[in-house]
């Protein structure tokens, strides 16, 4: 909805085709570089999927340049990532072991792929007992290339560039709820979300503190074992007793409630905004990230369109009055795109607000899209290759 209204107000072409192509060229070359290894490997499925993903990512970036809109095109990538990741992941699991559940034998053999969501839970035991409370392996193995060292390396390197924008350019889970939020025609429960937004956005912090402390106390990854909604669409501990059956029930209930139903009703990313402890943890990196969204108070008319459009309730009336977003802003660009007065702008910390917002946007987008192509793009390519492999004429 946000993008539609902004399309009506902006000139149809923010930039000419030639300049847009020129600005897209670095991303096109980067995409080719990132997927070069796929073309060197055997297998037509891989080649087709790599080519499709290169075209997909480059086209979306071109459209960002051409229209001046960020959120609308980023969302297409992000929803594709959110829906295709579980598809590829589940297909790989079923092909390998015939089930989505993790038997205890795989946990003790260190074959569980590491998920970045567990990162906050493992920090205290790692720091004080040098122990990783996760059933993976520290170094990559033939049966588990997604080892703890590799995945933490990926996460930390990308976080240096993206900060909290990880949640809108890299997280392969957030796109699922963003997709369900996009399906909804109208926004329900809006008054409730606005009224209790200040409380709701504190919940992820409370869960973060709870999960980190309890994980350190009982030496278990509490979020993974009990609270992760995305276990329902990836892998989960095999149901072998009452406790694991309850865990499975919680995963499914949280997934249906926070990732499907509430996003559809509210048009918000409710799991990300009101639950995810990793998102809260990631917010801390916004402090060291140079890019942000600011509000030009001279242009702002306090219409609150930006507040309504924000998918994670990262804006309040007070923050808009102060010309800033809240700490949990994930730089998706929804508020900038929806603003009719061009008061919401991309900003580089240390520079004057609203002086060269497009330059700040470009500097941010080049880094963010390059990493989205590298990380999300490779996940998309893997899933697309799986789909191509299923095609009946093959």
Choose between 135 and 273: whose C-beta lies nearer to another protein: 135
- CA 99, CA 90: separation in Å to the nearest integer? 8
Closest approach, Cβ 138 to another protein, in A, equals 6
Residue 344 phi/psi, 5-degree rounding, is: -85, 125
Choose between 55 and 218: whose C-beta lies nearer to another protein: 218
Helix axis angle, 71-97 to 357-390, nearest 10°: 30
- For 123, the token pair is 């920090």
Choose between 169 and 275: whose C-beta lies nearer to another protein: 169
Choose between 109 and 319: whose C-beta lies nearer to another protein: 109
Closest approach, Cβ 314 to another protein, in A, equals 21
For residue 99, count other CB atoms closer than 10 A to its CB: 12
Q: How far is CA 277 from the centre of its chain?
A: 13
Burial of 66 (0-12, 13-18, 19+ CB in 10 A): buried
Closest approach, Cβ 315 to another protein, in A, equals 23
- CA 273, CA 314: separation in Å to the nearest integer? 8
Choose between 136 and 204: whose C-beta lies nearer to another protein: 136
Choose between 176 and 370: whose C-beta lies nearer to another protein: 370
User: Given the rule CB under 8 A, which residues bind another protein?
Assistant: 34, 103-111, 125-126, 130-139, 143, 148-150, 152-154, 156-158, 160-161, 217-220, 240-241, 290-291, 348-352, 360, 363, 366-367, 370-371, 374
Element (H, E) at 335: helix 334-338
**β-strand partners of 236:** 101
Element (H, E) at 115: none
Three-state DSSP at 25 gives helix
Q: How many residues make up the chain in this entry?
A: 394
Closest approach, Cβ 244 to another protein, in A, equals 10
Closest approach, Cβ 365 to another protein, in A, equals 10
- For 79, the token pair is 């929803």
Closest approach, Cβ 106 to another protein, in A, equals 7
């Amino acid at each position: 909805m946000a993008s539609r209204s902004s399309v009506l107000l902006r000139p149809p072409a923010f930039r000419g085709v030639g300049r847009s192509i020129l600005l897209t060229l670095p991303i096109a070359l980067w995409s080719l570089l990132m997927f070069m290894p796929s073309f060197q490997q055997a297998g037509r499925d891989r080649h087709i999927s790599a080519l499709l993903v290169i075209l997909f990512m480059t086209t979306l970036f071109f459209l960002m340049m051409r229209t001046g809109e960020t959120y609308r095109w980023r969302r297409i990538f992000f929803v594709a990532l959110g829906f295709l990741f579980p598809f590829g992941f589940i297909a790989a699991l079923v092909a390998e072991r015939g089930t989505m559940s993790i038997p205890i034998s795989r946990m003790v053999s260190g074959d569980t792929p590491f998920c970045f969501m567990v990162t906050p839970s493992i920090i205290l035991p790692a720091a004080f007992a040098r122990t990783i409370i996760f059933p993976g392996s520290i170094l990559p193995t033939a049966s588990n290339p997604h080892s703890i060292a590799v995945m933490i390396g990926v996460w930390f390197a990308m976080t240096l560039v993206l900060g909290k924008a990880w949640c809108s350019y890299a997280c392969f889970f957030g796109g699922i709820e963003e997709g369900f939020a996009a399906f909804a025609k109208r926004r329900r429960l809006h008054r409730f979300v606005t009224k209790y937004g200040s409380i709701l956005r504190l919940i992820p912090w409370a869960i973060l503190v709870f999960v980190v402390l309890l994980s350190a106390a009982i030496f278990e990854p509490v979020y993974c074992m009990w609270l992760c909604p995305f276990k329902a669409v990836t892998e989960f501990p095999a149901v072998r007793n009452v406790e694991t059956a309850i865990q499975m029930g919680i995963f499914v209930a949280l997934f249906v409630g926070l990732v499907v139903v509430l996003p559809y009703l509210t048009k918000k990313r409710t799991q990300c905004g009101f639950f995810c402890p990793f998102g809260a943890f990631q917010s801390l990196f916004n402090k060291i990230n140079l890019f942000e969204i600011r509000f030009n108070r001279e242009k702002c008319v306090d219409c609150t369109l930006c507040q309504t459009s924000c998918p994670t309730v990262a804006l309040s009336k007070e923050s808009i009055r102060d010309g800033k977003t809240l700490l949990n802003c994930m730089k998706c660009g929804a508020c900038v795109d929806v603003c009719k007065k061009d008061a919401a702008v991309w900003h580089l910390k240390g520079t004057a607000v609203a002086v060269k917002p497009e330059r700040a946007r470009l500097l941010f987008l080049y880094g963010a899209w390059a990493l989205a192509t590298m990380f999300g793009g490779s996940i998309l390519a893997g899933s697309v290759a799986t789909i191509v492999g299923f095609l009946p004429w093959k």
